[in-house]
């Protein structure tokens, strides 16, 4: 049975870290949610700013990370979430160090013009622009991730102490909404306001647009929690699963 618990932690942790790392790597692309769904931009007026749902591609994966945070919290407690969160930050930092190292490598002559026929005049410049996110963005993303994870774990366990094992949807969705709110604004404030790129009003407006999207996605994905919860209970056996849930609550 201990092997099943360990295997479960590895599976959940692997998916958690993979999504966190991928969210960072694809976060440099900004896409139009409305156009991707076949609609015209909504044109929200927030603090005098005309804003559409132009989102970083990373928002596609962060809701998955926070759902997994709640599942891991449910069965492995704060210690499990904290271990994976710190480990994820180490791996993300390592990934960016290696990316910056690779950016500094001198390109082969043929590589520079290898995609000229596809409209990319300089592949080396394209590589730098795609992967070379600014230090402020990296710092903001990592800090926001850690603060969001701590908030998620804390709120999750707080609601759980009040409601007991019932109302999984409430503690999971409630903790995710709080952590997503923090994540939405912290990363923007550090990456764009403190660095002097954007005024505070614009940063807050963009944060609100991002949070509206994350709010809706968090609610929509709530049924997925019960699907994963049911699979884990079936995999471990109901008795063992309940023991793990109780133990995680006692350790909180």
3-class state of residue 32 by DSSP: strand
d(CA 44, CA 186): 22
Q: CA-to-CA distance for 150 and 128, rounded, in angstroms?
A: 33
Dihedral over alpha carbons 176, 178, 179, 185 (to 10 degrees): 130
Q: pLDDT value at position 191?
A: 80
Residue at token pair 């043929």? 110
Give the other-Cβ count within 10 Å of 106's Cβ. 7
Any residues with CB less than 8 A from the CB of 247 and at least 6 apart, and which? 77
Contact in structure between 172 and 70 (CB atoms under 8 Å):
yes
CB-based contacts of 233, cutoff 8 Å, min separation 6: 241
Tens digit of each residue's pLDDT, the chain (252 residues): 578 899 999 999 999 999 999 988 887 788 898 999 998 988 888 877 778 888 888 888 888 888 899 899 989 988 999 999 999 999 999 988 998 899 999 999 999 999 999 999 999 999 988 887 666 778 888 888 899 888 888 888 888 888 877 777 788 888 888 888 888 888 888 888 887 877 888 888 888 888 888 888 888 888 888 899 899 999 988 888 888 888 877 665
Residue 188 tokens read as 């923007």
Does the pTM exceed 0.95?
Answer: no
Provide the token pair at 217: 């996605």
Maximum alpha-carbon separation in the chain: 64
What's the pLDDT score for residue 251?
Answer: 64
The burial of 96, by beta-carbon neighbours within 10 Å (0-12 exposed, 13-18 middle, 19 or more buried), is given as buried
């Amino acid at each position: 049975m201990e092997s099943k618990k360990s295997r479960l932690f590895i599976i959940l942790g692997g998916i958690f870290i993979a999504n966190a790392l991928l969210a960072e790597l694809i976060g440099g692309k900004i896409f139009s949610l409305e156009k991707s769904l076949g609609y015209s931009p909504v044109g929200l007026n927030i603090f005098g700013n005309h804003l559409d749902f132009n989102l970083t591609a990373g928002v596609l994966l962060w809701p998955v990370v926070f759902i997994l945070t709640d599942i891991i919290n449910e069965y492995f407690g704060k210690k499990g979430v904290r271990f994976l969160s710190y480990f994820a930050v180490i791996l993300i930092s390592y990934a960016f160090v290696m990316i910056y190292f690779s950016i500094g490598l001198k390109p082969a002559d043929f590589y520079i013009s290898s995609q000229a026929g596809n409209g990319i005049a300089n592949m080396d410049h394209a590589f730098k622009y795609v992967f070379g996110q600014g230090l402020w963005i990296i710092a903001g993303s990592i800090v926001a991730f850690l603060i969001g994870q701590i908030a998620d774990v804390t709120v999750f366990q707080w609601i759980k102490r009040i409601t007991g094992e019932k109302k999984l949807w409430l503690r999971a969705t409630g903790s995710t909404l709080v952590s997503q709110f923090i994540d939405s604004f912290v990363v923007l404030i550090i990456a764009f306001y403190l660095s002097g790129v954007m005024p505070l009003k614009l940063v807050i407006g963009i944060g609100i647009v991002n949070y509206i999207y994350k709010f809706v996605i968090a609610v929509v994905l709530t049924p997925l929690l019960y699907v994963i919860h049911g699979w884990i209970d079936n995999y471990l056996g109901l008795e063992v699963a309940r023991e793990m849930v109780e133990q995680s609550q006692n350790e909180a």
